């Protein structure tokens, strides 16, 4: 017997345009997958995909559509990992399957993942995108209730972003994300001032595939691999270059690989961060399980949207509470 699989593409507008080093976004386009069994249990998964790898909701939908004749009632997570590569399509299917199995078992997804103890609220970073100085300062002032800011940067806008944050929100803890825009020379040049301003983490300073230029760099601030880290197969090439990895379920291809990646990375001595490619509460809910093991959490996607799903996850300032079963898992 096959699982019924519905595939929908959705557009979720942002409150205002969001700029990073290589793109400006006005909305988050996502794929929604729903799996329904013969008893009426429904599992849902959402994916924004990996845009810098060319993924779109349409391309992900085509991947999922091609698998519909194989989605049998006893489908396993391992089968999905064999059938699809890491990426958004597998993420949507994998998370929908976790939700379905949770509904069928009458247990929370984190219990199915082996975490019997109660999950706890986590503190998320809040992301400040690039833009004109007045806009950046306005956004930082509006985020004074958020204790951890993640500042986007590019080749020319980096130290000024940190200075704006220090002037507008002096008590904030700071991370900075270059989205591959720097090189080692620039990084070494600005490291002393980043350290002086108390920056705690630098995300993906150099282009993926060119990570070797970080070899031998004794950075006083930990470096986190984002675009350079997809799944467990990425880890060995990053050892000695980065101190943290950023786990995103769209990159890993779902919660199943995300959890395995976290375990393996921890065993190899990496610190853990969990992030997101944007999206609604439905995309944050499975990542919340990974967040239980992470030093840095960046699950603020819904806070940037003009609206969210109902029921949504509950944010109290930076504190993100566990998802309701009616949402996911």
Helix axes 255-267, 88-105, angle to 10 degrees: 100
Spatial separation of the C-alpha atoms in residues 329 and 103, rounded to whole Å: 7
Q: Using CA atoms, how far apart are residues 222 and 296, in angstroms rounded to an integer?
A: 12
Q: For 98-147, how does the pLDDT look when each residue is reduced to its tens digit (9 = 90+)?
A: 999 999 999 999 999 998 788 999 999 999 999 999 999 999 999 999 99
pLDDT of residue 4: 98
What's the confidence (pLDDT) of residue 117? 81
Write down the pLDDT at residue 116: 79
Tokens of 230: 């997809």
Per DSSP bridges, beta strands 148-152 and 199-203 are: unpaired
pLDDT of residue 128: 98
- The CATH number given to whatever domain includes residue 27 is 3.30.390.10
Instruction: Say whether both 200 and 292 belong to one domain.
Output: yes
One domain, residues 63 and 138: no
Q: Does one domain contain both 75 and 191?
A: no
Same domain, 41 and 134: no
Asked whether the whole model's pTM tops 0.95, one would answer yes
Amino acid 109: pLDDT: 98
State how many domains the chain has. 2
Per-residue pLDDT of the chain in tens (329 residues, 90 and over written 9): 999 999 999 999 999 999 998 889 999 999 999 999 999 999 999 999 999 999 999 999 999 999 999 999 999 999 999 999 999 999 999 999 999 999 999 999 999 999 878 899 999 999 999 999 999 999 999 999 999 999 999 999 999 999 999 999 999 999 999 999 999 999 999 999 999 999 999 999 999 999 999 999 999 999 999 999 999 999 999 999 999 999 999 999 999 999 999 999 999 999 999 999 999 999 999 999 999 999 999 999 999 999 999 999 999 999 999 999 999 99
Preceding amide of 32 cis, omega within 30: no
Query: Do residues 104 and 131 share a domain?
Result: no
Measure the CA–CA gap between 283 and 299, rounded to whole angstroms.
9
Contact 29, 57 (CB under 8 A): yes
Q: Tell me how crowded residue 190 is: count the other CB atoms within 10 A of its CB.
A: 18
Which range of residues forms the domain containing residue 57? 4-108
**What confidence score (pLDDT) does residue 23 get?**
86
- Other C-beta atoms closer than 10 Å to the C-beta of 304 total 18
The domain spanning residue 151 has which CATH number? 3.20.20.120
For residue 47, list its beta bridge partners: 31
Q: Are residues 196 and 260 in the same domain?
A: yes
């Amino acid at each position: 017997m096959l699982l019924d699989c519905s595939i929908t593409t959705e557009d979720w507008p942002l409150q205002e345009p969001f700029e990073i080093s290589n793109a400006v976004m006005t909305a988050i386009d996502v794929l929604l997958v729903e799996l329904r069994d013969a008893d009426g249990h429904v599992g849902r998964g959402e994916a924004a995909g990996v845009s810098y790898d060319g993924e779109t909701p349409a391309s992900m939908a085509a991947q999922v559509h091609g698998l519909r004749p194989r989605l049998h009632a006893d489908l396993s997570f391992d089968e999905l990992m064999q059938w699809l590569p890491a990426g958004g399509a597998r993420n949507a299917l994998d998370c929908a399957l976790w939700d379905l199995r949770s509904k069928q078992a009458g247990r929370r997804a984190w219990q199915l993942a082996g975490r019997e103890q109660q999950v706890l609220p986590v503190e998320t970073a809040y992301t400040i995108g690039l833009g004109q100085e007045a806009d950046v300062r306005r956004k930082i002032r509006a985020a004074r209730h958020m204790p951890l800011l993640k500042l986007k940067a590019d080749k020319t806008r980096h130290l000024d972003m940190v200075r704006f944050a220090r002037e507008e929100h002096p008590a904030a803890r700071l991370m900075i994300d270059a989205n591959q825009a720097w090189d080692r020379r620039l990084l070494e040049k600005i490291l002393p001032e980043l350290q002086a301003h108390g920056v705690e983490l630098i995300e993906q300073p150099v282009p993926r595939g060119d990570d070797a230029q970080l070899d031998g760099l004794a950075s006083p601030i930990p470096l986190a691999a984002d675009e350079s880290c997809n799944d467990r197969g990425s880890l060995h090439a990053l050892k000695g270059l980065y101190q943290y990895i950023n786990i995103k379920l769209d990159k890993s291809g779902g919660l199943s690989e995300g959890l395995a990646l976290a375990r393996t990375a921890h065993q190899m001595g990496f610190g853990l961060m969990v992030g997101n490619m944007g999206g609604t509460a439905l995309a944050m809910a499975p990542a919340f399980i990974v967040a239980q093991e992470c030093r840095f959490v960046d699950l603020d996607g819904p806070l940037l949207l003009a609206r969210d799903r109902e029921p949504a996850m509950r944010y109290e300032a930076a504190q993100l509470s566990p998802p309701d079963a009616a949402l996911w898992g």
